[in-house]
Structure 1
Amino acid sequence: MKKTDQEYKQILTDIEYRVTREAATERPFTGKFWDHWDKGRYSCVCCGTPLFLSETKFDAGCGWPSYNAPENESTIKEIKDTSHGMIRTEVRCANCDAHLGHVFDDGPMPTGLRYCINSASLSFEPSSNAQLNQKD
């Protein structure tokens, strides 16, 4: 069941609401997950849908959390975005339509993709054996 804008405003912080419901972008190097390396799962902050695993996270140097693949392709949808004089591919939660970020084709192998995702659109659940990953 989808929530109303008023319901989202009650459960999300201001930045979470602006990013997920209004497609805003948080400033680089400011989000809680851009330099976060614990093992676990990143989910949609609006509906809890699992989106990305820590094993696919990498340091893209861009200031936003970056992943080379979603946990399950069916949990995201991609939309052509022509805003701001650019042509990009927007990434949204397939369950609740929350804006997550964008995907680019300049990521590492094996996918060659970089899912550049706003921290404000994510929640994190550590693995049961939570340990810090080492950045390569």
Structure 2
Amino acid sequence: MTDIGFYHCTRTPAADAALKLVVRAHASGARVLLWADEVALTAMDAALWSFDAASFVPHGRDDAARQPVLLASEPQALNGADHLISLGRGVPPGFEGFTRLFNLFEEGSDAHARARADWKAIGGRDGVTRTYWQQGERGWQKAG
């Protein structure tokens, strides 16, 4: 069973939401794969080193398969991840190998259009649940 959350970032950049998700997922004991383009991966790598002076999230890039948080340009769980955070990349083929998928996208972006198509394509599939979340004044609100 794969639980897919579509996270529509309307108040903060998707990268900021992804950072918070990475930190929470790691704290829960999950192994995480963050899938993004090279520019976003470089920024996330720097953010994970500096987001909080009192804590550290062990992470690595594509070749650091033993890390609990893997930052990768391909959606392959080389670190045994059960959580996939897709930063503007949509839902990849083979997503069923993850128990949770967080699909983050911003208003009006190419990723927004991709999320609409993914939502329709995934609807009604066995073994998949999907939930649409939108940022509101008081945080994330379940909208579908």
TM-score (norm 1): 0.28
- Return the structure number with greater relative CO, CA threshold 8 A, min gap 6: 2
TM-score (norm 2): 0.27
